[in-house]
Structure 1
Amino acid sequence: MTKLRNSVGERIREIRKAKGLTQQQLAELSGLDDAYIGSVERGERNFSIDTLEKILKGLDTSAHDLLYDPISTTHTSDFVQSKREAVDEYGIILSQLNIQQHTALRKILNEIKDAFL
């Protein structure tokens, strides 16, 4: 079970950093102590579902975003880490856009993709 706890802690850290939050800021947003947040991120705490819910609310994210990993692990760890950071950052940007902006961005991304392929 330690592997799952470590993975969840790492994802919490990745999402927190992608949102530009410090451990202290996340602690304040979630109503927890910053040292506790650090120990969760390092996989040192066997935390409850209630605590996870507080952290998710503080991160303004869902359990799906925390547990779903769309990045293939067939590449080097640096490549995987870079892709995860990009996905987290893009997800945050997308959550701030309206439907018209989403549509425009998809068109732009498709044009960029076509230019590279």
Structure 2
Amino acid sequence: MAVLRIFLGNRIRAIRNAKGLTQQNLADLSGLDYRYIGASERGERNFSINTLEKVLSALKISLNELAYSGVEQSERDSVRWEAIDQFIASTEGLAEEQIEILQRVNREVLRAFK
């Protein structure tokens, strides 16, 4: 099961980075030690469901957002998910109308690439 542990640690790191948080920030928000956060991100530590719940709560994400489809990913998928994580982080705290505006802007930008 080390593959899953490493996958989840990488996802936590990616989302933390997308939100502009340091390991210390995440540790403070979750009530965990920054060394524990680092070891978890590197896949060196098993974490309990309770600990995972604290991290998810601190990152303000769901389990679905953490564990998107498939453990194995290509470099291209990795870049794509990094962009998705950054987009999701940028919508935090926005009203529904503001998110809809961002979606329209995104659609227009995508049309320009075609």
- Per-residue displacement from partner, 1:21-47 (whole Å, max 9, x unpaired)? 111111111011111111100111111
| Matching residue of 1:103 | 100
Give the SS at the match of 1:95: coil
Identity %: 47
Shift of 1:93: 1.4
Partner of residue 113 from structure 1, selected from 90, 110, 114:
110
Please tell me the residue identity of whatever aligns with 1:52. Answer: L
Kindly report structure 1 stretches of 4+ aligned residues shifted beyond 4 Å: none
TM-score normalised to structure 1 length: 0.86
Equivalent runs, 1:1-117 vs 2, <5 Å: 1-69=1-69, 73=73, 75=74, 77=75, 79-117=76-114
Structure 1 CA distance for aligned equivalents of residues 51 and 57 of structure 2: 10
- Per-residue displacement from partner, 1:5-32 (whole Å, max 9, x unpaired)? 0000000010111111111111111011
Shift of 1:82: 2.2
Shift of 1:69: 4.3
The structure showing larger relative contact order (alpha-carbon pairs under 8 Å, at least 6 residues apart) is 2
Structure 2 CA distance for aligned equivalents of residues 43 and 66 of structure 1: 15
Count the aligned residue pairs. Answer: 113
TM-score normalised to structure 2 length: 0.88
Give the SS at the match of 2:65: helix
Please tell me the residue identity of whatever aligns with 1:47. Answer: F
Structure 1 CA distance for aligned equivalents of residues 104 and 21 of structure 2: 31
Shift of 1:98: 1.4
Shift of 1:92: 1.1
Shift of 1:63: 0.9
Give the SS at the match of 1:101: helix
| Unmatched segments (≥5 aa) in structure 1 | none
